[in-house]
Amino acid sequence: MKIAVLPGDGIGPEIMTQAIRVLDVLRAEGLDMEFVEAPLGGAGYDAYGHPYPEFTQKICREADAVLLGAVGGPQYDTLDRPLRPERGLLAIRKDLGLFANLRPAVLFPELANASTLKPEVVAGLDIMIVRELTGDVYFGQPRGMRVNENGEREGFNTMVYTEAEVRRIAHVAFGIAMKRQKKLCSVDKANVLETTEFWKEIVIDVAKEYPEVELSHMYVDNAAMQLIRNPKQFDVMVTGNIFGDILSDEASMLTGSIGMLASASLNESKKGLYEPSHGSAPDIAGKNLANPLATILSAAMMMRYTFNNEAAAVRIENAVKKVLAAGYRTGDIFEPGMTRVSCSEMGDQVVAAM
Ligand SMILES: NC(=O)c1ccc[n+]([C@@H]2O[C@H](COP(=O)([O-])OP(=O)(O)OC[C@H]3O[C@@H](n4cnc5c(N)ncnc54)[C@H](O)[C@@H]3O)[C@@H](O)[C@H]2O)c1
Ligand SMILES: CC(C)[C@H](C(=O)O)[C@@H](O)C(=O)O
Ligand SMILES: [Mg+2]
C-alpha cells in the first residue's frame, strides 16, 4: 500500500509526525505500507511555486491513499488567490474526485466534561456528517470580483449542484445510514435557495431506493441550533459543501475539541484522502502543543475505508481510548486533575497503547 503523506503547513508537520509513528507500529509488525512525502499548500508554494505542485499531484494520483495534515497560514494570505494554500486543498479534492467527505462527531466518554455543553447533552454522541466536497459555491462558476454597472466593486460566487452530484452523495449518505441507525437528516436552505430546493427534491427521489431509512429535512439555520440544543437526535446528516464545512466545525465542539474530529474524503473507487477537520492553527504552530488525535483517528479511517482493515482501525481507535482513559490531555481538551501532555507526548502515549 502506497500512502502519500502531505504534512502541509502550521501544525501539519507536528501532528503528521505523530500519526506516522502510530502507523509505523503496524508497519513494524508486517503491514505493507510505503510512505511517500510531498508538499501541499504553503509548503507546495514554497518548494515549487504552486499550492498543488505537479510533483505532489503525481505522487497522490499513484498512491492508494493520501494522508494530509493541514494547510494555510497568515504569511500566504496576501498571495494571489490561485496560489493560496487553500486552493491547493480544493485542487487535490477536485483532481482526485473526492466528493464524499465523512466527518464523524463521536464523543469519547472520557471527554464528556471537555465539551462546552452539559455532559448529559453530549454523552453517547455519535453523528456522521456527510458533506459533499467537490461542488456548491466552492467550485461554481462564475466567481470573482468585478465592478458592476453602477461602478461599484462587488464580489460574487455561484451556488450550483447538478443532479448527478446530488444523487451520488445522497447514495453515499443513505448507504451509511443503512449501516447505522437508519436515520438520515438532509440539511438545506430550500426556503430561500433554489440550489438547495433542488437538492431536497433529488434526495427525496433517491430515498425511494432506501425505504428502511427514515429521512428528514432541516433548514441549515435550524440544524445549527438543534446541534447545540439536542445533538443526539441526529444519526447521519447529509449536506452540501459550504453548510457541511460550517456544521462539522460546530459538531466538533460537541466532542470536546476540533482537535478530535477526523475525516475521510472518498471518491467513487474509495481512494481516500484522510485529514483532520481542523486547520493549520497558526496560533500554536511550532510549539508542540497541538492535539494530534484527529490526525491519528484519520489514519484509523484510512485503514477502515481504503484498506478495508477494520482490525487495524479498531486497534488505533482503542489505543486513543486507552490514552484518554488514562487521563492524558493536550491543552485543548485539558481539565483539572488530568495529565497535560504535549503533541509529541500524546503520540508517545498512543504508540505505547497500541
Ligand atoms: N483542512 C485544512 O487544511 C484547513 C481547515 C481549516 C482551516 N484551514 C486553514 O488554517 C488556517 C487557520 O484557520 P483557522 O484559525 O480558522 O482554523 P484552525 O482550525 O486552524 O484553528 C481554529 C482554532 O482551533 C485551534 N486548533 C485547531 N486544531 C487544533 C489542534 N489539533 N489542537 C489544538 N488546537 C487546535 C487553533 O489553535 C485555533 O485556536 C487558515 O489558513 C485556514 O484557511 C485549513
Ligand atoms: C481550508 C478550507 C479550504 C477547507 C474547506 O473549507 O473545505 C477547510 O475549512 C476544511 O473544512 O477542510
Ligand atoms: Mg472547515
Please state the rounded mean pLDDT for residues 281-294. Answer: 98
- How do residues 197-251 score in pLDDT, each as one tens digit? 999 999 999 999 999 999 999 999 999 999 999 999 999 999 999 999 999 999 9
Residue 196 Cβ < 6 Å to ligand 2: no
The pLDDT of residue 90 is 97
Shortest-distance ligand to the CA of residue 261: 1
* Alpha helix positions (H), 162-292: 163-178, 194-207, 220-229, 241-254
Q: Residue 138 pLDDT > 90, yes or no?
A: yes
Cα of 151 from ligand 3 centre, angstroms? 34
Please tell me if the CB atom of residue 265 comes closer than 6 angstroms to any atom of ligand 1.
no
In this model, does residue 282 exceed pLDDT 90?
yes
Which of the residues 45, 52, 136, 138 is marked catalytic? 138
Average pLDDT for 38-65: 98
CATH of domain 102-266: 3.40.718.10
Residue 47: pLDDT band with limits 50, 70, 90: very high
9, 188, 245, 332: which is the annotated catalytic residue?
Answer: 245
- Closest to 324 in 3D by CA, of 251, 256, 274: 256
280 lines ligand 1 (CB under 6 A): yes
Instruction: Report the C-alpha gap between 352 and 5 in whole angstroms.
Output: 23
Convert the pLDDT of each residue in 157-212 to its tens digit. Answer: 999 999 999 999 999 999 999 999 999 999 999 999 999 999 999 999 999 999 99
The pLDDT score that the predictor gives to residue 229 is: 96
Domain ranges of the chain: 1-99+271-354, 102-266
Q: Which residues are annotated as a binding site for Mg(2+)?
A: 221, 245, 249
Determine the distance separating the centroid of ligand 3 and the alpha carbon of 245, expressed in angstroms: 5
**What pLDDT does residue 114 have?**
85
Tell me the fold of 1-99+271-354: Isopropylmalate Dehydrogenase (3.40.718)
Q: Is the distance from the beta carbon of residue 103 to the nearest atom of ligand 1 less than 6 Å?
A: no
What does the pLDDT read at residue 284?
98
Among protein residues, the one with the nearest Cα to ligand 2's atom 3 is: 86
Judge whether 204 and 95 are in contact, CB under 8 Å. no
In terms of C-beta density within 10 A (0-12 exposed, 13-18 middle, 19 or more buried), how is residue 64 classed?
Answer: middle
Q: Indicate the pLDDT class of residue 320, thresholds 50, 70 and 90.
A: very high
Fold equal for 1-99+271-354 and 102-266 = yes
Among 6, 90, 101, 295, say which to mutate for ligand 2: greatest number of ligand atoms within 8 Å of CB: 90
**pLDDT for residue 140 is more than 90:** yes
Cα 353 to middle of ligand 3, angstroms: 30
Is 136 one of the annotated active-site residues of the chain? no
pLDDT at 64 exceeding the cut of 90: yes
Residue type for 154, please? E
pLDDT of residue 115: 87
Q: Which helix (H) or strand (E) holds 132?
A: strand 126-132
Residue 83 has pLDDT above 90, yes or no: yes
Which pLDDT score is estimated for 34? Answer: 97
**So what's the pLDDT on residue 270?**
82
Mean pLDDT of the chain: 97
